[in-house]
Amino acid sequence: MTTKKVLTPLEIYKQLEQSNCKRCMLPSCLAFAAAVIGGQKKLEECPSLPQGVIEQLSLKLEKRSTVEPQQAEFMAKLLRKIKDLDFKAVAKERGCELDETGEILKLRSLGKIFQVDREGVLRSECHIIPWVEAPLLSYLCYPTHRQISGRWISFREIKGGIDWRGLFGSRCEMPLRRLADGHPELLADIVDLFMGREVTEFDADIALVLHPFPHIPVLICYQAPDGDLGSELNIFFDECCSENLHVKSLYTLCAGLVMMFEKIAVNHY
């Protein structure tokens, strides 16, 4: 029995018209390709994609049904771990707070407060989205933890990051660079929207730090195009991230952030 090849966003992108027509309701063809891989879009939702190409790609595309049981099993494991956590110790170590009952952890993510009870139920003033839920619970349960070091490393330097660097580049750094190229004001607005802060000690037109979780600082550095030189965007992580969250959860967080930024760009610019 042969195993189906798992497509990457870039492989799908190469088959698209690459006109960024937005008829799929996403800001770019690359965003559409990433959404197909993530299961949010179907190949048929691209009006310019020939049926023959759709059939050819579909043969290689990993079925979502094989992924979803794995995700469900992972979530079930996290929920079991949450029940056994020492909430007081976790709050002190991981930058959270306890409510007055001691039964609810309160954690700040991008300026928003999320609450987690001993059953692993997540509540927030904002909509709970899947790309936040699993990494957040994983952050609370992760077996190792370090405080913020102040030293920045690339994604490939994260434990296991070498295996994920291609996907990280195509679904996180590349689409975010294109967004910044098309909407120069977006990165500055992100600082205000998500309690980020601009930093000046980096050789970039704009450098900003976001905190998806208290001890998961993410640095985005963007250099705008200049003459014949193209733009450049890189995402870095504090060295502690390698000890505070699994590489897959870090990837999920960043890919989710980029998708959220794409929606902001479509709705507000």
Give residue 41's pLDDT.
82
Q: What is the pLDDT along the chain (269 residues), one digit of tens a residue?
A: 333 445 677 788 889 999 989 888 887 887 788 778 767 788 999 999 999 898 888 887 755 444 455 667 788 888 899 999 999 999 999 999 999 999 999 999 999 999 999 988 889 887 767 788 889 999 999 999 999 999 999 999 999 999 899 989 999 999 999 999 999 899 989 888 899 999 999 989 999 999 999 999 999 999 999 988 999 999 999 999 999 999 999 999 999 999 889 888 877 76
Give residue 66's pLDDT.
46
Other CB atoms within 10 Å distance of the CB of residue 253: 26
Give residue 223's pLDDT.
96
Other CB atoms within 10 Å distance of the CB of residue 10: 17
Give residue 130's pLDDT.
72
Domain ranges across the chain? 9-62, 66-141, 152-242
What's the CATH number for 9-62? 1.10.15.40
Give residue 157's pLDDT.
96
Pairing of strands 232-238, 197-198: unpaired
Give residue 269's pLDDT.
65
Q: How many CA atoms lie within 13 A of 204 on its CB side?
A: 22
Phi, psi (degrees; rounded to nearest 5) at 45: -80, -5
- The Cα 167–Cα 224 span in angstroms is 23
Give residue 4's pLDDT.
41
- The Cα 241–Cα 160 span in angstroms is 12
Using CB atoms within 10 Å of the CB of residue 118, give its burial: 0 to 12 exposed, 13 to 18 middle, 19+ buried.
middle
DSSP H helical ranges for 21-173: 29-38, 51-60, 64-83, 87-94, 130-141, 161-168
